[in-house]
Amino acid sequence: MNDEVWKALNAVQESFNEIHTIEFLVEKLEKAVEEGDLATIANASISLSSFLPMYTKNWEETFHDAWKVCGGNVNLCEWIESCD
């Protein structure tokens, strides 16, 4: 795998890893629901609503860029195994 392809696929992985922010917000939201904390429920909901479109757009752009670099010839199984 050449360096340009590796960088493009690594960018896709880094973009996807931002999912941890969503997981964090969902955990806070679930805890707030259990505790009946309406202020935190509202804040977490607003945060998720604001972050999710940006996350999705960033991932789609990064994936599209990687697809162009790879010419649509990405062996994801091979690449994923090389990340372990």
Query: What is the rounded CA–CA span in Å between residue 3 and residue 24?
Result: 33
The reported pTM is 0.63
Both tokens assigned to 37:
């904390």
Contacts for 81-84: CB closer than 8 Å, 24+ residues apart: 82/1, 83/13
pLDDT category at 77 given cuts 50, 70, 90 is low
Name the region of 74 (left: φ>0; alpha: ψ -120 to 50; beta: rest): beta
Domain spans of the chain, in order of start: 3-83
Q: Do residues 29 and 41 lie in contact, with contact meaning Cβ atoms separated by under 8 Å?
A: yes
pLDDT tens-place string over residues 23-74: 999 999 999 999 999 999 999 999 999 999 999 898 888 988 888 887 766 5
**More confident site: 73 or 5:** 5
